[in-house]
Amino acid sequence: MARLDVRAPKVTQKVKLKVKADTGANANVLSIRCLKQMYSKVEDPTTVLQPSSTILTAAIVNGSTLQQIGNLNLATTFDDSVLAQLHGKRCEPATVNKKLSKPRSYTVETPKNRTLRRNRKYIKEIPIKAAKELATRKVTFDLPDERQLDELQKETTELPAPRRSSRVKRKRRDSKRQNTSG
C-alpha cells in the first residue's frame, strides 16, 4: 500500500488524499467520493476537472515519482454504444438510455427495441468504430436445399452404434473389506 499526495491544479486549498494504490496494476482510479470531497468547496468544478500532467509521488519509496504508463479517457456521457450481457448469455449491442437512482444501474435499449435495466457490471463499452460496424452489419445465412434436408433426416433417424462394453460397474472389493474389519 502506498500513500499518494495528489495536488490538483486550480484548487485554492492544499488537498491531501489518502488512497490505496496497487502500483503493479494496469490502472489506479480515484473513487467519485474522493473527487466530490476534493471539489466540494470549489465554485465551478467543471472548470477545474481538466486533464493535467500531475506527477504522483510515493511516500514509501523515498518520495520517488511513480512511473506513468499511460492515460485512459473514461466516457462520461450517455447514449454510448455498449455491449450488454443479457440474462447470463452472450453480449449484444445496446444503447445506454439513462442512469437510474440505484447505484451503478442503467436502462439499456437493445436493437430489438427492448428496454432493460442493467448493472454496470454487465455493460461493456465498445469503440465508436466497432459500434457503427455492428449497427450496419446484416446477418445472412443460407437455407439448405432439399437434398441436404433429406440427408439430415436420414442421419437423425439412424440408431447410434452399439457400445463395445455393456458390463455393469460394481463396487470395489477394498471398500467391502474396510467396512467389515471396522
Q: What is the pLDDT of residues 146-165, one digit of tens each?
A: 565 566 565 555 555 666 66
Residue 46: CA atoms inside 13 Å, Cβ hemisphere, count? 1
Instruction: With respect to residue 148, please indicate whether it lies within any of the assigned structural domains.
Output: no
pLDDT of 67 reads: 55
| Element housing 119 (H / E) | strand 115-119
Instruction: With respect to residue 179, please indicate whether it lies within any of the assigned structural domains.
Output: no
Instruction: With respect to residue 154, please indicate whether it lies within any of the assigned structural domains.
Output: no
The answer to pTM > 0.85 is no
Instruction: With respect to residue 153, please indicate whether it lies within any of the assigned structural domains.
Output: no
> Per residue, what are the HEC states of 84-113?
EECCCCCEEEEEEEEECCCCCEEEEECCCC
Instruction: With respect to residue 163, please indicate whether it lies within any of the assigned structural domains.
Output: no
95 forms bridges with which residues in the sheet? 81, 109
Instruction: With respect to residue 90, please indicate whether it lies within any of the assigned structural domains.
Output: yes
Q: What are phi and psi of 35, to 5 degrees?
A: -65, -40
User: Do 58 and 101 belong together in one domain?
Assistant: no
Calpha distance 58→21 (Å, rounded): 10
Instruction: With respect to residue 172, please indicate whether it lies within any of the assigned structural domains.
Output: no
pLDDT of 25 reads: 46
Average pLDDT for 112-133: 67
User: Do 37 and 95 belong together in one domain?
Assistant: no
pLDDT of 50 reads: 54
Among candidate residues 64, 90, 114, the one where a domain is terminated: 64
Strands 123-125, 115-119: parallel, antiparallel or unpaired by DSSP? unpaired
The letter for the amino acid at 88 is G
Instruction: Indicate which CATH number applies to the domain containing 108.
Output: 2.30.30.140
Strand order through the sheet with 115-119 = 115-119, 105-109, 91-99, 81-85, 123-125
User: Do 2 and 60 belong together in one domain?
Assistant: yes
User: Do 32 and 85 belong together in one domain?
Assistant: no
Selection from 77, 83, 90 nearest residue 131 by Cα: 83
**33, pLDDT greater than 70:** no
Instruction: With respect to residue 76, please indicate whether it lies within any of the assigned structural domains.
Output: no
Per-residue pLDDT of 14-27, as tens digits, reads 555 554 544 444 44
Q: Tell me the residue range of the domain where 4 lies.
A: 1-64
Count of domains for the chain: 2
Among candidate residues 105, 121, 136, the one where a domain is terminated: 136
pLDDT of 74 reads: 43
pLDDT of 135 reads: 58
Selection from 62, 46, 63 nearest residue 5 by Cα: 63
Per-residue pLDDT of 63-122, as tens digits, reads 566 555 554 444 444 444 555 555 556 666 677 778 777 777 778 787 778 777 777 666
